[in-house]
Every structure is written in C-alpha cells, then in structure tokens.
Amino acid sequence: MKKNLRITALLMLLITAASFAQQPKVEWGPKFDYDVKLEEDAKIVLADNYNHYLFSVANRHGMMSQHTINMRKFDQKNKLVNTFKENFPNKDTYTLYNYLGSYELGKDKMIIFIDSYSNKTKKKDIHRIVFDKNTDTFTSTLIVSYTFESLSKSGTAYVVASQNGRYFGVIYSKFSNRKIAEVDEVTVLDANSLEVAWQKTVTFPLELYSGDMTLTNSGKLVIVKRLVDKSSKHSLLVVDVNGETDKDLGEIKISKPVSITIGTQDYLIALNESAKIRALFYNNIMLYDLDAGRIINNDQIDFFKGINDVQDVRFKYVFVDENQIDVFVECKHQTGTKPSQGSFANDPRFNEAVFSYGQGMIVSMNREGKVLSSAKIVGNDKPFSNDLVDNFGILKYKGDYYINTYAFSKRNNIWVEHGVFNQLVAPKYTTQTQKIRFPDYLYKEGSDDDDDEMVDRPTGQYVGNGTYIHQFVNYFPDTRRLLFAQYYADGKVAFVNYIGAL
C-alpha cells in the first residue's frame, strides 16, 4: 500500500513538473510613453538577441506641428535605454511633408523616405534618411528635386520596394487632368549602394492614368494603366533601364499587384475582377507571367464573405518557397461609427462611419497559381479604438506560421475578448492550434473570474488592462524568446518576453 502511494506521489510530482516545464516564462519590461494620436507606422525593427528598436514617425501640421522620426532602443529585458529623434529635412514654417515609407536595410540599418514641398520655393524634394544602429545616428540625403506651378498642382510622390529588398522605386507623378497628360518621373535606387540604378520619364496618353504600382526583384517598375471609367479594363506598363513595354491583361481589372520571383522569372499576384463589374469587389486571384505577358492561372475564391462594402484590399504578407506561394490578404470595410465632428457632434443620428482593415485570410497556391487552400485568420470585426493595433501579425518559423491575433471565449454567458498566438501547420494552413492564450484584455489582476477556460493562461508577472499589439511579434531562436507588446489606455506601451513557448 505504501509502495503504491509512493509511486502515485512520484507520478503526480512528475506530471506537475512537466506541466510547469511546458509553461513559458514571462518577463515584462517597464512601461513607456507612446502618443497614439501623433505617432504612426509603429514597428519593431533591427531586432537581435541584445537590442530592438521601436520605429515611428510624427507628421503633424498646424499650430502644434511636429515632423520627426523616432527610434526607441530597448535591451533584451525590454527596458527603454535611449530614444533617438531626427527632424524631417527642410524644416521651416512654409514646408509641408509626406511620409512615404520605411524599410530595413539588412540587420544594421533602416531607410526612411520623406517628401517635402513648399509653396514659397515651388519645389518638391524627396529625401532618404538612413538610421545606423551601430552608431545610433541618422544621415539625410536628397534623392531628387522637382519644381511645380502651385501648391494645388504639386503632384504626388510614391515609394515602392522590391520584395527581396534590393531596389526602391521613387515615383513623382506630376499634376494632370483630362487636358494635361500624366507624367511620372521614376528613380530606382540600388538598396546596397543607395545609388541611382536608373531613371526614366514616363508620359501617359490623355485619358490614361497610373494606378497601383509594384517593383520587381529585378528592378522593373510595373504600373497598372487605367481609365477614369470604373468599368474599363486595366493593362500594364513595365518600365526598366531599357525602356517601356505594354502588357495585356484581358478583360479584367486588378488590385494591388505584388511582384514575386519563381526561379529567375518575374511574376505578379493580384486580386482581380471582370471589367464589366463596377463595384470594388474582387473574386479572383491570379498568377501572371510578366515576361510572357499572360495569365498563368486565375482561380475564383470567396475572399470576403459577408462583407458587402469593401473599400480597399491589401496584401499584408507574401511568402514564396520551393513548393508554394502563401498570401495573407485583408480588406478595408466599415467596422463601426464615431461621433460626428461637425455641426451635429452630439446627435448619434449623424455619426460618421469608421473604416478599418480586417478579416485576414491566408491563401496558398502552387507555383502554377492553382489555389490549394484558403482559411480565415480573424473575423470581420476590428474591436480596437486606435490605429496602433492591427488585426494580426505573422511569424514564420520552421515552415509553420504563427498568428498573433485575438479571439473570444464565452464565460458566464458573456463573450470575453483575449489575445491568442496560434500555429498554422504546413502545408495546408487551414487549422489553427492555440500555442498561447493570453490573459483577457479586460482582466484585472486579483479579480475572481477564472474558470476552466483559463487553464492555458501563462504564469508570471502580468501587467493588466492592456491590448496586445498584434503586429508586434519577433522570435529569437538562440534564446527561445518571443517578443510581444501591449498598449494601455493611459498612453503607455510595454514589451514582454515569452521564453520557451516555441
């Protein structure tokens, strides 16, 4: 009898030890200030085993103007060790600015593109600003400068990057209308040297305009050519150092083409629809051979079922490997309302619509463009009240995808929202397995609201009442450290390590 009791006790001890061993260790960093109303395009950059940076820009015009690049530096324990700021170039009271985008340059540098323009000088200048983490310094360089007639005719600047990070395309689209043909000045930079790889002036015939653009991994700019008529088919213009080439698409219109490489050939992936349909609702996904100028495959797929008023679509991530192509896409649609800022601010009948990106999906295709599987990542709603928190973030590790997002669980007949870190297993990625179930967003430490659904809650210090910033997720295999972050209603953010979860 005593022997059986000892065996039972030993088994219970081993089971308990194994249970604790499976729980990830949680390490919270101190909170720090983050101005969600001012800062934009926040992202974790230049991360390694020792440091990571939180990048953001502030671009506010008017009485309280602020035009700065912000780089917050953190150590491996998520403590803020320094903040580096850089003013936008050409800073004076007459200059206006557009932030055009930012990209990592390898493991040590980041490049930021700024468009500045002034009605006083009648000039538009496009700068590149490079941050080097080895010295924690910024270097600003003028790329191109153009003159314009007036502020209302100052044109628009864009920046696009190739998927492999080898090229950046800087495009200045001059003012145009039905009587003035569109002219685009194109400058392509080599990302390694940051020198100009090639430049071209592209002139469109009257009544034709540039639409979405993408840059191939071989440094070619692909422009969607369109008419004002929403029922008109699209075509492509491919521009490179050797000239311009028109490509036919057939009787379709496309949205947000993404350039990829299969072998040594350039291809496009794009959502598309018959040109006869005026509404912005794309039911097909195609693989297009850019060199041959033909559609390889175009499968019908129900992307955004249940959403009737799609405003826009975007590819959030595209991954290409030796077997298939995985595409993560989401759409912009109405997710709620907010009080009007006009004359009827206190009348709920005149609330303004709120549009956000949501309902993420993954679509997997083979290298011939045939859709193999599709699955919804998150639901239709976006329950977040600021622009900092995205619906989901993605980590790829050992062939599987890990989705940092949110879910709802029912407790005491009430649906409670919480964060989750789910695994999508190759190759179909259609079933999500929960790896981490984060505490409830409304959970308060010490409250008596635990039940059987909460057994997956990780142990460790918990900084409560925050919302996980879903797009913030990094993994460091050497230390088995997952990096997440939370945003709080008091305007604070804190980073947190989950060690041993993967």
Residues 416-433 have pLDDT tens digits of 788 899 999 999 999 899
Residue 408 pLDDT: 81
Measure CA of the first residue to CA of the last residue in the chain; give whole Å. 41
Q: Pick from 158-172, 323-337, 438-452, 487-501 the range whose average pLDDT is largest.
A: 158-172
Banded pLDDT at 91 (limits 50, 70, 90): confident
Between CA 78 and CA 80 the distance in angstroms is 6
Q: What is the mean pLDDT of the chain?
A: 87
DSSP conformation class of 44: E
Residue linked to tokens 């040590």? 108
Q: Which of 49-53, 227-231, 309-313, 427-431 has the lowest mean pLDDT?
A: 227-231
Q: Are 234 and 223 in contact (CB under 8 A)?
A: no
Chain Cα centroid distance, residue 208: 30
* CA-wise closest residue to 378 among 399, 356, 396: 356
CA 64, 54, 489, 491 torsion-angle sign: negative
At 269, list the tokens: 């992936």
> Phi then psi for 428, rounded to 5 degrees?
-90, -30
The first and second tokens of residue 180, run together, are: 């003035």
- Whole-angstrom distance, CA of residue 153 vs CA of residue 176: 8
Higher pLDDT pick, 198 / 407: 198
Q: Does the N-terminal peptide bond of residue 427 adopt cis geometry, omega within 30 degrees of 0? A: yes
- How many helices and strands (H and E) does the chain possess? 1, 34
Q: Contact at 8 Å (CB) between 183 and 171?
A: no
State the pLDDT at residue 453.
35
Q: How confident is the model at residue 452 (pLDDT cuts 50, 70, 90)?
A: very low
Cα-based distances in Å from 178 to 206, 279, 359: 7, 23, 37
Which of 445 and 118 is assigned the larger pLDDT? 118
Number of neighbouring beta carbons within 10 Å of residue 219: 20
Q: Taking 80 as the threshold, does the pLDDT of residue 252 lie above it?
A: yes
Q: What is the pLDDT of residue 20?
A: 42
Alpha carbon separation from 199 to 93, 171, 472 (Å, rounded) = 32, 10, 36
Cβ atoms of residues 484 and 496 within 8 Å: yes
Residues 100 and 91: their CA atoms lie apart, in Å, by 17
Q: Does position 154 have pLDDT exceeding 50, yes or no?
A: yes
3-state secondary structure of 151: helix
What are the distances in angstroms from CA 426 to CA 75, 192, 359, 373, 430?
Answer: 33, 33, 21, 11, 9
Q: What is the pTM of this model?
A: 0.89
**Do 278 and 296 meet the contact criterion of CB atoms below 8 Å apart?**
no
pLDDT at 451 over 50: no
Range with the largest mean pLDDT of 14-18, 204-208, 336-340, 471-475: 471-475
| Helix H or strand E segment including 63 | none
